[in-house]
Amino acid sequence: MSDAKIHDLVIVGAGPAALSAAVYTTREDIDTVLFERAVVGGLAAVTDLIDNYPGFAEGIEGLKLAEQLQKQAERFGAVIELGEVTGLEDKGEYKSLATTEGEIKAKAVLLAPGTDYKKIGVPGEQEFYARGVHYCATCDGAFYRDKRLVVVGGGNSAFQETIFLTRFASHIDLLVRSKVRASDVLQKEMQKFVDDGKVTIHLGTATDEIVGEDGKVTKVVGTQNGEKKEFETDGVFVFVGLSPNTQFLENSGVVLDEIGFVKTDDKLQTSVPGVFAAGDVRSGSTMQIASAAGEGATAALIIREYLEGKLTPKSESTEPVTAPMTQ
């Protein structure tokens, strides 16, 4: 889609932060284009049930929330392009973004590409990816009806996804490397499945290797208290945290923290003038859908000030901050 036009705003990503920002900018006639390389709605779209987003007393399916956010943004004129941003360069008068669809230019850029699932980096993980190794329970859980599963992880996502997978699996071995980090609410809910024998939690268990034959996963080899253990399984789901989608920012001048998240000041500005960040990709983010939406709205209002030339000079600091929530 390479063209000579300089858009008011290009948003990298189309998750809750990006779509919320687009609702605000397009309502004020700010020409807004979003680039999404994967799924509109981001990780929210592949979450089974979102139970803590304000306004939904009974919770809401992640896909439905994503669809509603997309429709709302598009109703006001947001343009969503499916493609990947591969580079960013400050040209002074405008920002140049290299994409799989060609160059696109913008007066301002909002970085909201979100995060992706971390890998555990053991033998067999890459070899059996999508053939027994998965990172999304709502996407792939139904393939394992009445089969055994191994889930790796001990945080909120691991517990949430394990609970979801009990709908399909005959039994789940949950391998927790050190200690459980999930919330008390999730631990209490999980206990019901432990008590009825649906789930077995293995504390202090490292995942060493994913083994298979004939192109299918057959077992996971782990270490518990110094002893090798084998867990027979038909599939493995890995939930060990998230990593930021910031590889495209190499050589862009945008300052990242030590683990790759984007540093911003209290105005959500990055180290590059006219480039802002919001949502899970931002250093100091709370990694919650509600706060991502709030940051998107906040960023939109600040970007409007920037485009109107009213934004105060960027602070020298780009230390992680918690952005104010916007109603």
* C-alpha span between 28 and 25 (Å, rounded): 5
Q: Which domain holds residue 74?
A: 6-117+242-307
247 with 110, same domain: the answer is yes
How long is the chain? Answer: 327
The alpha carbon of residue 48 and the mean position of all alpha carbons in its chain are separated, in whole angstroms, by 14
Same domain, 153 and 223: yes
**In sequence order, which residues have a C-beta less than 8 Å from that of residue 133 and are 6 or more positions away?**
124, 125, 210, 217, 235, 236, 238
Identify the pLDDT of residue 326. Answer: 37
Residue 324 resides in a domain: no
Is residue 193 within 8 A of residue 174, CB to CB? The reply is no
Residues 152 and 215 in one domain: yes
Q: Does residue 317 belong to any structural domain of this protein?
A: no
Same domain, 67 and 104: yes
Per the domain annotation, does 148 fall within a domain?
yes
Q: Does some domain include residue 318?
A: no
* Count of the separate structural domains present in the chain: 2
**120 contacts 287 by C-beta, under 8 angstroms:** no
Per-residue pLDDT of the chain (327 residues; tens, 9 = 90+): 555 799 999 999 999 999 999 999 999 999 999 999 989 999 899 888 898 899 999 999 999 999 999 999 999 999 999 999 999 999 999 999 999 999 999 999 999 999 998 999 999 999 999 899 999 898 899 999 999 999 999 999 999 999 999 999 999 999 999 999 999 999 999 999 999 999 999 999 999 999 999 999 999 999 999 999 999 999 999 999 889 999 999 999 999 999 999 999 999 999 999 999 999 999 999 989 999 999 999 999 999 999 999 987 665 445 555 444 333
Distance CA 235, CA 107 (A): 47
Q: Where among 214, 238, 262 does a domain terminate?
A: 238
Domain match, 162 and 224 both: yes
Query: Do residues 146 and 83 share a domain?
Result: no
Same structural domain for residues 193 and 219? yes
Residues 112 and 31 in one domain: yes
Q: Is residue 291 part of a domain?
A: yes
Note whether 77 and 224 are same-domain residues: no
How buried is 93 (Cβ within 10 angstroms: 0-12 exposed, 13-18 middle, 19+ buried)? exposed
Say yes or no: 142 and 233 in one domain: yes
Beta strands 216-224; 205-213: pairing state: antiparallel
SS3 224: strand
Q: Residue with structure tokens 């493609």?
A: 83
Question: CA Rg, the chain, in Å?
Answer: 21
Same-domain check for residues 204 and 270: no
Q: Is residue 249 part of a domain?
A: yes
Which amino acid is it at 120?
Answer: I
Q: How far is CA 67 from CA 13, 231, 258, 280, in A?
A: 15, 38, 34, 19
On whether both 158 and 208 belong to a single domain, the answer is yes
Domain boundary among 238, 260, 291: 238
> 100 has which bridge partners?
none
CATH number of the domain where residue 25 is located: 3.50.50.60
Whether 71 is in a domain gets the answer yes
Helices (H), the chain: 16-27, 42-45, 62-75, 137-140, 156-165, 184-195, 289-307
Boundary residue ending a domain (238, 270, 292): 238
**Is the Cβ–Cβ distance between 305 and 311 less than 8 Å?**
yes
Residue 1 lies in a domain: no
